[in-house]
Amino acid sequence: MDLLQIKFWEAGDYRPGTKGHERRCSWGGSSCPSPAELTVTDRAGADNGACAVHVVHYIRDRLRHGR
């Protein structure tokens, strides 16, 4: 797996009824009210929606902890 897996958000990346499918930011278990702009892949391989603020948290996490 690549260290950083980031792409533009697409509804098809998520199962219907999930936060990601509803374009809600869910990075790090957050209940962030901002819309997801990007899809990031966590260490377990799951896709998560991430807003512009939380994508920075994702990058920090990957750089500190690797895969």
CA distance 53 to 63: 16
Q: How far apart are CA 16 and CA 59, in angstroms?
A: 26
Residue spans per domain, the chain:
6-65
- pTM exceeding 0.85: no
Phi, psi angle pair for 32, to nearest 5°: -65, 135
**Residue 28: predicted pLDDT:** 67
Q: pLDDT tens-digit profile of 14-58?
A: 888 888 888 989 886 667 889 999 999 888 888 889 999 999 989
